[in-house]
Structure 1
Amino acid sequence: MPRLAVGDTAPDLTLPSTAGGTLSLQDLRGRAVVVYFYPAAATPGCTTQACDFRDSLASLTAAGYEVVGVSPDPLDKLATFVADQALTFPMLSDPDHVALEAWGAWGEKKNYGRTYTGVIRSTVVVDAEGKVALAQYNVKATGHVAKLRRDLGID
């Protein structure tokens, strides 16, 4: 899958949301958005990453960023994850991998010598005009949010 690069127009996404109904990138136009893609809710790495976003949400919001998480999990699993971890930002369900593929977050991975297709842990920052301001692929679950904040100049 091709990956997004700075300056690209971010592909629209419209997916079921834990906040109710669907959420579209178009709904967030006029605001900067951090869209992060992760493999599976309630796994150790994904929980660490989601909680890091939760714990950094006030500083990200103060700097003008919305946060949205996307995974292939069904909405009911995401709703349980949101409740269990007290997450206060929307999580979107993409079981058909439509957004994951369009954003370059679905592809070949290698783990312990095995090659398979799955979610590539990724973060894309979209500016208020819908352009990619930052695209990071194969990020680590631990420490990623702190690095992202440094990259965005957020204390």
Structure 2
Amino acid sequence: MEASEFRDAMKKFEKENVAILGVSADSVKAQANFKAKYKLNFPLLSDPEFQAIEAYGARRMKKFLGKSFLGIVRSSVLIGADGRIEQVWDNVSAKGHAAEVLKFVSKG
């Protein structure tokens, strides 16, 4: 759902000079299949060794059904033209998140 919302809003993000990238620990092949299935119009990056995911703090302890495990927390990071982090959205809900990010970049 989240990826589809970013796909559908791509022209609006482009108007704001914002590039969208998706990152997950899935393999390159799995990423390609996901991109094709949902007709995504932005790159998906494979990080199976969690280097970028950990660098951005998105891999940490989670709980599910009373059990703790190391998992990936759905997050978004806005990086400015100067390479600095401008905004972090942590532990986001997929539904409506693209609109939330678009609202933030549109006011800036």
TM-score of the superposition, structure 1-length normalised?
A: 0.66
Q: Secondary structure, in 3 states, of the residue corresponding to 1:67? A: coil
Q: 1:123 aligns to what?
A: 76
- Of residues 80, 91, 101, the one that matches 2:44 is 91
1:74 maps to a residue whose letter is S
Paired residue total: 107
Q: 2:9 aligns to what?
A: 56
Q: Secondary structure, in 3 states, of the residue corresponding to 2:22? A: strand
State the identity %: 36
Q: 1:104 aligns to what?
A: 57
> 2:92 matched to 1:146?
no
Report the more deviating stretch, 109-118 or 96-105: 109-118
2:101 maps to a residue whose letter is L
Gaps of 5+ in 2: none
* Shift of residue 102, structure 1, vs aligned partner: 0.5
Answer whether contact 2:77 2:87 (CA < 8 A) is retained: yes
Q: Output the CA distance in 1 between the equivalents of 2:6 and 2:89.
A: 15
**1:116-140 C-alpha deviation (Å, 9 max, x unpaired):** 1111100000000100011111011
Q: Output the CA distance in 1 between the equivalents of 2:66 and 2:94.
A: 20
Report the more deviating stretch, 72-81 or 142-151: 142-151
- Choose between structure 1 and 2: higher helix proportion: 2
Q: Secondary structure, in 3 states, of the residue corresponding to 2:48? A: coil
> 2:55 matched to 1:133?
no
* Shift of residue 144, structure 1, vs aligned partner: 1.0
Q: 2:22 aligns to what?
A: 69
Q: Secondary structure, in 3 states, of the residue corresponding to 1:80? A: helix
Gaps of 5+ in 1: 1-47
TM-score of the superposition, structure 2-length normalised?
A: 0.94
Report the more deviating stretch, 144-153 or 125-134: 144-153
* Shift of residue 143, structure 1, vs aligned partner: 1.3
